[in-house]
Amino acid sequence: MPQVKLILIVVVLVLGWGVALNAGRPVRRGQWGSGFAAGQAGVKYLALGDSYTIGESVDPAERYPVQVRRLLAENDHLACGDPEIIAVTGWTTGNLLEALVAEKPAAVGESETPEAAYDIVSLLIGVNNQFQGRSQTEYREQFAQLLQTCIRLAGNRPDHVVVLSIPDYSVTPFGRRGDTALIAAQIDSFNRINYELARADHVNYIDVTAESRKAAADPSLIAVDGLHFSGKEYGVWARLMEPVFKGVLQ
């Protein structure tokens, strides 16, 4: 029993501390200083997700939405300001859906025309559905709703939406304490769902799972908390995202 209690404490400390700090306070436009308002010049980018999108345990400049924005500006000469991010550590698909109702992202009001919308919207969500043992049926239903919301936020342009696959945390020190084969298999199952839905809705899809698994042999790809991924790994994702974003935006 003492060992069971110790394991539970570790889980709460490692996975829950970010939720306690950030719950109800998703990073979004006002916190970036030069975020996007409707009609502002430049690419309007909205990134939706959980701890990976918010960059738990990395510097703000190392978050993948910020890194892809930097690549687009430096390599492709696309005028990009800071991305708007709606994401909190610990969020499931259900939490994100609730937040989008409450947050009402600023670039889209009553009008859903491309002129009033975000130029591009990215979505990465699902690891907490797997970790919490939530059903794949629920994930399918809620992810489908999120995709429809993303499409509306992108001005009803499916090709301006980008889905990222769920990375595999079984390769991290925290993940290796559990059944790594089971975690990896479940991550793959959830990714099959988001891939099928993305294809059905004709949105872009980027597989970052394969890259995340390289962290099993490269500790530099893992953040200092031993659970999330490092800025170096997020840089890999940003490089995968850059040509897709460029194709959408040019």
Q: What is the pLDDT along the chain (250 residues), one digit of tens a residue?
A: 444 344 433 443 344 434 333 434 455 433 322 233 333 458 999 999 999 999 999 999 999 999 999 999 999 999 887 899 999 999 999 999 999 988 777 544 444 555 568 999 999 999 999 999 999 999 999 999 999 999 999 999 999 999 999 999 999 999 999 999 999 999 999 999 999 999 999 999 999 999 999 999 999 999 999 999 999 999 999 999 999 999 999 8
- Please give the model's pTM, rounded to 2 decimal places: 0.84
Q: Which CATH architecture has domain 2-249?
A: 3-Layer(aba) Sandwich (3.40)
80 residue type, one letter: C
Beta bridge partners of 229: 222
Contact 44, 36 (CB under 8 A): yes
Beta bridge partners, 87, equal: 49
Residue 123: which of 48, 198, 234, 46 has the closest Cα? Answer: 48
Classify residue 249 as exposed, middle or buried by CB count within 10 Å of its CB (0-12, 13-18, 19+): middle
Chain centre distance of CA 78: 22
